[in-house]
Amino acid sequence: MDLKIVIPSHKRFDRVLTTSAVAGAILCVEESQAKLYRACNPDIEIVTHPDSIKGLALKRDWIIKHFGDVFMLDDDISAMKRVYTEKGEETTVEAETASEIIRVTAQACKDSGLFLFGFSSAPNPIAFNSLNPIQLSGYFTGCAHGVLKGSKLWYNPEIICNEDYWISCLNAHHHRGGWKDTRFYFAQKDTFVNRGGLAEFRNIEAEQKDFEYLQQVFGKEIITLRKNQGKAHEFQKSLRLPF
């Protein structure tokens, strides 16, 4: 499989972390920002898209159509890490190994007849089920997920901040399953406050709009508000699929 590992980025030309975390990744940026990105990332392949492609949803949609089989990573990821661990064990996965794990996972997804694949969104090892390391349904984190060609998946420009919930729900509707290897996760900075990238568009009003739109499309029983205390903002969501 000719899988491409792609980092969509926006106005973070001097602060891209992910190229050190995953070997062989490609940066995907607006044409007008390419010069700055190339100056700050001289050893990294850079692919440009038209400046008319605005917002992360449209950028992701352009990427899956342009590259075919693709795995997308946010630009602020410090490392792939193992969820399963013993006390005192090193959890960071080397960049070359991380790239190989992504490719093996993509192939497993393809061999299973599925189209959406990814890794754990829960870094706490207590939440890891060693008897069920591969999950075939549920939520796929936006910071690191892949789409294989031939799917019915697309990214809706109406969604500003929550393209991960959109694609997880759409995938459940069309394909009924995905491939999620919960043995690994990607550690990243807090993108809600990190300058550039999605932080340029993300605010509480946008989160509320996304929440209401997702409920309108997929149903109020599928998209709900989290009830736990200490959440980052009032419109943090939960995904409840009936399978």
pLDDT at 85: 82
Is 28 in contact with 7 (CB distance < 8 Å)?
Answer: yes
Q: Is residue 27 included in any domain, yes or no? A: yes
Which residues have C-beta within 8 Å of that of residue 111, sequence separation ≥ 6?
none
- Go through 78-97 and write b for each residue having 16 or more CB atoms within 10 A of its CB, e for each that does not: ebbbbbeeeeeeebebebee
Residue 32's Cβ-count burial label (10 Å; 0-12, 13-18, 19+) is exposed
Q: What percent of the chain has pLDDT over 70?
A: 93
Summarised one tens digit per residue, pLDDT across range 95-107 is: 999 999 999 999 9
CATH number of domain containing 153 = 3.90.550.10
Residue indicated by tokens 């694949």 = 117
Q: Does residue 93 form part of some domain?
A: yes
Containing structural domain, residue 29: 4-190
Does the pLDDT at position 193 exceed 50? no
Round to whole Å and give the CA distance between 13 and 234: 31
Task: Please give the single-letter amino acid code of residue 29.
Answer: V
Which segments of the chain are extended strands (E)? 4-8, 26-30, 46-49, 70-73, 77-82, 92-93, 116-120, 134-135, 144-147, 179-188, 223-225, 237-239
Cβ(163)–Cβ(214) below 8 Å = no
- Asked if residue 108 is part of any domain, the answer here is yes
28 assigned to some structural domain:
yes
- Indicate whether 163 belongs to any domain: yes
Tokens of 197: 């990238």
Percent of the chain having pLDDT more than 90? 78
pLDDT band at 122 (very low <50, low <70, confident <90, very high): confident
pLDDT for 192 equals: 47
List the beta bridge partners of residue 73. 144
Whether 199 maps to a domain, the answer reads: no
pTM metric for this prediction: 0.92
Q: Which amino acid is at 11?
A: K
What is the arithmetic mean of pLDDT over 46-57? 96
Whether residue 35 is contained in a domain is answered as yes
Q: Report how many domains make up the chain.
A: 1
- Band (pLDDT 50/70/90 cuts) for residue 226 is confident
Residue 231 forms part of a structural domain? no
Residue 203 has what pLDDT? 82
Mean pLDDT of 57-68: 97
Query: Residue 201 — very low, low, confident or very high, per pLDDT cuts 50/70/90?
Result: low
pLDDT at 2 over 90: yes
Question: Minimal CA–CA distance to 239: which of 165, 133, 130?
Answer: 165
What confidence score (pLDDT) does residue 204 get? 87
124 band by pLDDT with thresholds 50, 70 and 90: confident
Given this model, what pLDDT does residue 47 score?
Answer: 98
